Amino acid sequence: MLVRKIGIAWFLSRVGVTIAVAGKLPQVPLSIPDNAGSNISIELFDDLEELSRIVDIAYCVGTAGLGIQKPFLCASRCQDFKSFELVKTWNTGPLLSDSCGYVALSHPPSAPRIIVAFRGTYSIANTIIDLSILPQDYIPYPGISHEEHAEDGSKSLPNPLSRWADPASSRCDNCMVHAGFMASWRHTRPQIIDELDNLLIQYPNYQVTLVGHSLGGAIAALASLDFHAKGWNPQITTFGEPRVGNHALMKYIDKAFYHESQSNRSVAYRRVTHIGDPVPQLPLKEWGYRTHGEELYISKVNLPPERSDVQVCQGDDDRHCLDGADVSSDGSRSQRVPSADMGSFTRGMLEHAGNLEIPARFRIWQLFFAHRDYFWRLGLCIPSGGPHDWK
């Protein structure tokens, strides 16, 4: 058991985390028609593809010999964003959840954005194994009106854009959150919160948006609730986000970022999943964890996906999307998800060894494939993200 746990933790330690904060033009609230299962617009598809590249850049932070330099230079996709201005990078180190990332500005002619990218942490990866069954009470951060209290008890100057959250609407009764994800956000928050306050004073028309890949999607979820309480009206996109809490917390997220009218649903949160990706199905439902709504599901195994491969899902657990991706026609779970490009024979042997079907959520080797394949193969920090056929 110990050997297996260490092996799984090693696989997970190779997976990174990412978040971004972005602006008004590409990150318009997603208006979804009532007929779930429909395909997304060309504009939204292009927006998601761009955000996947922004997320990928964060993997350069903390990489030995690489990194991101001013004005906005790196070994990966920085050349795609000539209007970006690097503000800072940070790294908390392995003793503080090993969070690292960068803050950058996206200036016109690109969409005016404040970008915060959180890159993968080894400590966060281990929490899926070590802390999945150790949720804690979720207590919302209040918005700040007159002064921001830092972790050391000191106070910073007020931001006129900040406010106290309405106590009635900010209550989260019976909410539980993954202890490891919450600890990572608490360690990361003081690294960026004052910077964002100051940037929003300088650039009040720049839209705050979060984007996260993998376990960083969990941190994006918690950061989004914090920023929502501060009145920043964040817009969020995550790729391969794991479950962060119980049913009550997921409904709390849905309430904060989901709005419905007679004609459509307008949401500020897009949760993108991919067929075969085990991470959005972890931690397990059996441990009390659930997913929140507004899923956009990529049903194509291989790169690159087309617009017709991305569908709008209904509710928190749409059986026509990832939650039902390994449900066979007779209703039993663990339908085979086709293997993709490299190593297909090896993975096929693993999935069907002894005629034993393995549910997607337990296919840990897919951390190298399905979990990284969101428009591009993410997490490499090399020019163009890898060989030409990875898109």
- Residue 180, amino acid: G
Distance CA 317, CA 336 (A): 20
Annotation says 277 is catalytic: yes
Beta bridge partners of 238: 212, 271
Distance CA 58, CA 215 (A): 13
Q: What is the C-alpha R_g of the chain?
A: 20
Q: Which of 274, 309, 371, 373 does the annotation list as catalytic?
A: 371
Q: Which of 13, 132, 184, 214 does the annotation list as catalytic?
A: 214
Chain-centroid distance of CA 360 in Å reads 19
Which one-letter DSSP state was computed for residue 373?
E
Minimal CA–CA distance to 186: which of 217, 249, 156, 141?
Answer: 141
Annotation says 371 is catalytic: yes
Cβ-based neighbours of 120, under 8 Å, separated by 6 or more: 15, 16, 17, 18, 59, 214, 215, 216, 379
Backbone conformation region of residue 188, classed left if phi is above 0, alpha if psi is from -120 to 50, else beta: alpha
Q: Which of 47, 56, 226, 277 does the annotation list as catalytic?
A: 277
At residue 327, φ and ψ (nearest 5 deg) are -110, 120
Minimal CA–CA distance to 375: which of 366, 365, 383, 385?
Answer: 385
Distance CA 110, CA 19 (A): 19
Catalytic residues: 214, 277, 371
